[in-house]
Amino acid sequence: MASDPSHTPSGHRRHGPFLLRNAHVDDARAIEAVHWAAREAVYDGQVADWPPSGLDRDGRIERWTRWLSSEHLHCIVGEEDGRIVGFVTIRASRDEDAEPHVAEMPTLYVDPAAWRRGLGAALCRAAVALASALDFLELTLWVVEVNTRAQRFYDAFGFVADGASQVDEDTTERLVARRYRLSLGAE
């Protein structure tokens, strides 16, 4: 690692203009802002229940604070000019049919202003490296069918739809989500 110039002594990783680092609990507000902006860009005009009812902004920040405090969740953020513009999380899979060696990527979000500049792929590579370091052998994620942008991203990265589907209970429209899978052994 020390010989790789993209790794700083503090363990931060540089990818072009982006700096990747592990998230802290006090990143919750900035992470929530990226999460909301990216979801709005995907869902506004696409699904009838945007914006979703439920938690207000303070409640959503509080929820992120709780998630970031959890020992079960790992989160990596991408910064540009000191501002968080993307993040990814991984954890052991919660799917009922998952074996213990399967990790899950619950969220990968990039601020729409930074889309298509390589940050999503850099965060995804960092998540893959972390999942491998934690001895997971596969990584899965769920994508709702209407999110064709994300499907194109995951296709390009090498994920493959494994045939599983479920109704996303987080949406009042009950959108159908498909599961994508990546073997970490091939990395």
* Structure tokens given for 75: 């989160």
- Closest distance to ligand COA from the beta carbon of 157 (Å): 6
Angstrom distance (rounded) from CA 35 to CA 51: 13
29 near ligand COA, judged by CB under 6 A? no
- 32 C-beta neighbours (distance < 10 Å), count: 20
Residue choice 149, 161, 164, 173 for contact with ligand COA (CB under 6 A): 149
- By beta-carbon proximity to ligand COA, the closer residue of 9 and 157 is 157
Task: For the CB of residue 187, give the shortest distance to ligand COA in the complex, in Å.
Answer: 16
Residue 3: count other Cβ atoms within 10 Å of its Cβ. Answer: 5
Report the residue number, 2 or 186, with the smaller CB distance to ligand COA: 186
The site that binds ligand COA (CB under 6 A) totals a number of residues, namely 20
Query: Closest CB to ligand COA among 42 and 84?
Result: 42
Rounded-to-integer distance, Cα 12 and Cα 178, Å? 33
Residue labelled with tokens 């501002």: 83
Residue with tokens 């072009």: 16
Bond before 51 cis per omega within 30 degrees: yes
* SS3 label, residue 5: coil
25 by DSSP, 3-state: which?
helix
Count of residues making up the chain: 187
Instruction: Report the alpha-carbon distance of residue 15 to residue 79 in Å, rounded.
Output: 10
Q: Which of 18, 67, 153, 159 binds ligand COA (CB under 6 A)?
A: 153
Q: How far is the CB of 127 from ligand COA (least distance, A)?
A: 11
**Least distance to ligand COA, CB of residue 137, Å:** 21
CB of 26 to ligand COA, least distance (A): 22
Query: Which one of 1-9, 20-28, 69-77, 119-127 is the stretch in contact with ligand COA (CB under 6 A)?
Result: 119-127
Q: Is position 94 an interface residue for ligand COA (rule: CB under 6 A)?
A: no
Residues in contact with ligand COA by the rule CB under 6 A: 38, 42, 108-110, 115-121, 141, 143, 147, 149-150, 152-153, 156
